Copies of this chain bind each other. A is one copy, B any other.
Amino acid sequence: MTTSTRAKQSGSGIAREGGLANEVLEFVWRRREVSRAEIARRTGRSRSTISEAVARLLPTGLIEEVGSGESRGGRRPILIGFRDDASTILGVDIGAAHVSVALTDLRGRILEWREENHPVRSDPHGTAALAVKLGDACLAARGPGAPDPMGIGVAVPSPVDPLSPYRILERILPAWHEFDLLGELRGHFGIPVFFDNDANLGALAEHHWGKAVGIDDFAYLKVATGIGAGLMIDGEIYRGATGVAGEIGHVAIDPRGPPCVCGNRGCLATFVGTRALVARTRTLLSDFPQSVLAGTDPDIWALEDAALADDPLALKVVDEAARNLGIVIAGVLNLMNPGSVILGGSLARLGDRLVKPLKEAVASRTLVASAAASDIRTSELGPRATALGAATHVLVAALADPSLFPGVKAR
């Protein structure tokens, strides 16, 4: 009870401390070019108040006057623009077997990109060293004008408990027990480090740069080695009571299905995880001698490529996966009624080949019309989505509290 009071406290507290400047800064960021009068109209404040807030923000270099706009029947407005190149952000994607790092500007543009495979599960120290190496490489390669990064975002393939952020990975990655990845990164780069679950950050990336721009309630499903969901509710990532919301890989979709590593039967992961799809493909190889995959030892990339070429074997595997995913997505729609469902992970590049059977499976399992009407789409952000989402996390934090930006005074 005290906690809930505190939470509400800090809610209004932020607005009191940061004043109007934060709100104006975020507004300018979102609108890119906007006049003082327009800000006043859209935020409900008076022009004089906005003028004052802009005057306080201009010296920070985060916004600037960028010329004049069209007249609306009177004096031309002076447009205020956000300086996307005022700083940079490092986004780190720790996968099950790879590490990738993106250097972005403040508009989600990837300025540099480095990627390397690595046995992440078993080697935390090597993973941290690799992240540092790739991060340094990004910084070294950036153009002469690009400023130093202001923060680091890290995506981890594991639930993140907001209440105890420092012992996180141990549940799913036992070798990582008590290893302080964040401390290593902060120690080397000397800037703030944020982190979160990879599916959550994928959802954040979609919300800012992808198919969920303008949608504040949606579910993002990432199909990779594991299957995870990132839930955005009212514009914010929802983590649940202990930070494990969205762990849908082991939702049971068939009580008579095959056994799973988790000890149950018929988990979604036994049908739709990357390994399950590859295994299923191999099983079906003998039935499809005409397939382009016949005679090969396919991996997930070959499977996807074959599906994109309309290979019958690959399409059958994708179709089955879509129907199984559909069972879980129908459950998500019935329970949470998101405005949209975005599919991420490498499978997303299959587009309609995945979505069409998925929609059929979902439509036959949702009662309420508006839930069934919820649109299901594939991400177009590609393999860099997770690292981009990690960087976006830092951007969101900085826009909410500009004191994180170097050179910006806290008050």
- In angstroms, Cα B231 to Cα A404, docked, is 35
- A246 nearest in chain B by CB position: B335
A118 located at the interface, meaning its Cβ lies under 8 Å from any Cβ of chain B in the complex: no
- In angstroms, Cα B245 to Cα A204, docked, is 21
Mark the stretch among A102-110, A186-194, A235-243 that contacts chain B: A235-243
Are A241 and B44 touching (Cβ within 8 A)? no
A330 located at the interface, meaning its Cβ lies under 8 Å from any Cβ of chain B in the complex: yes
Are B368 and A240 touching (Cβ within 8 A)? no
Are B233 and A233 touching (Cβ within 8 A)? yes
Task: Looking at the assembled complex, report how far the CB atom of A198 sits from the nearest CB atom of chain B, in whole angstroms.
Answer: 15
In the complex, which residues of chain B have a beta carbon less than 8 angstroms from the beta carbon of A330?
251-252
In the complex, which residues of chain B have a beta carbon less than 8 angstroms from the beta carbon of A23?
8, 12
Are B44 and A13 touching (Cβ within 8 A)? yes
Mark the stretch among A121-129, A140-148, A343-351, A369-377 that contacts chain B: A369-377
| Residue from A213, A246, A252, A253 whose CB has the most chain B CB atoms within 10 Å | A252
Within 8 A of B (CB), among A240-290: 240-255, 262-264
A179 located at the interface, meaning its Cβ lies under 8 Å from any Cβ of chain B in the complex: no
A365 located at the interface, meaning its Cβ lies under 8 Å from any Cβ of chain B in the complex: yes
Given A42-B5, A327-B255, A337-B239, does the pair A366, B250 have CB atoms closer than 8 Å? yes
- In angstroms, Cα B366 to Cα A111, docked, is 41
- A267 nearest in chain B by CB position: B367
In the complex, which residues of chain B have a beta carbon less than 8 angstroms from the beta carbon of A12?
12, 15, 23
In the complex, which residues of chain B have a beta carbon less than 8 angstroms from the beta carbon of A216?
3-4
In the complex, which residues of chain B have a beta carbon less than 8 angstroms from the beta carbon of A161?
370
Are A338 and B240 touching (Cβ within 8 A)? yes
Task: Looking at the assembled complex, report how far the CB atom of A235 sits from the nearest CB atom of chain B, in whole angstroms.
Answer: 6
Are B248 and A368 touching (Cβ within 8 A)? no
Interface size on A, residues (CB 8 A): 73
Q: Of B213, B241, B245, B264, which is within 8 A of A335 by CB? A: B245
Are B331 and A244 touching (Cβ within 8 A)? no
For the complex of A and B, the 9 pairs showing the least CB-CB separation, nearest first, are: A240-B337, A241-B339, A245-B337, A250-B367, A242-B370, A262-B367, A217-B241, A244-B337, A244-B368
Task: Looking at the assembled complex, report how far the CB atom of A172 sits from the nearest CB atom of chain B, in whole angstroms.
Answer: 9
Are B240 and A217 touching (Cβ within 8 A)? yes
Are A335 and B337 touching (Cβ within 8 A)? no
- A161 nearest in chain B by CB position: B370
Are A337 and B255 touching (Cβ within 8 A)? no
Task: Looking at the assembled complex, report how far the CB atom of A287 sits from the nearest CB atom of chain B, in whole angstroms.
Answer: 23
- In angstroms, Cα B330 to Cα A263, docked, is 14
In the complex, which residues of chain B have a beta carbon less than 8 angstroms from the beta carbon of A42?
2, 5
In the complex, which residues of chain B have a beta carbon less than 8 angstroms from the beta carbon of A254?
255
Are A332 and B335 touching (Cβ within 8 A)? yes
In the complex, which residues of chain B have a beta carbon less than 8 angstroms from the beta carbon of A248?
334-335
Known: A1-B30, A328-B331. 17 other contacts (CB 8 A): A4-B216, A5-B30, A5-B43, A9-B43, A12-B12, A12-B23, A171-B368, A171-B369, A233-B233, A240-B338, A241-B339, A242-B339, A245-B335, A251-B334, A254-B255, A255-B327, A264-B367
Given A251-B331, A366-B250, does the pair A240, B2 have CB atoms closer than 8 Å? no
- A254 nearest in chain B by CB position: B255
Task: Looking at the assembled complex, report how far the CB atom of A339 sits from the nearest CB atom of chain B, in whole angstroms.
Answer: 3
In the complex, which residues of chain B have a beta carbon less than 8 angstroms from the beta carbon of A9?
43-44
- In angstroms, Cα B27 to Cα A255, docked, is 48
17 contacts between A and B (CB under 8 A): A2-B42, A5-B27, A12-B23, A161-B370, A217-B241, A231-B336, A240-B337, A240-B339, A243-B337, A244-B337, A247-B368, A247-B371, A248-B335, A250-B366, A251-B334, A254-B255, A331-B335
A382 located at the interface, meaning its Cβ lies under 8 Å from any Cβ of chain B in the complex: no
- In angstroms, Cα B328 to Cα A1, docked, is 29
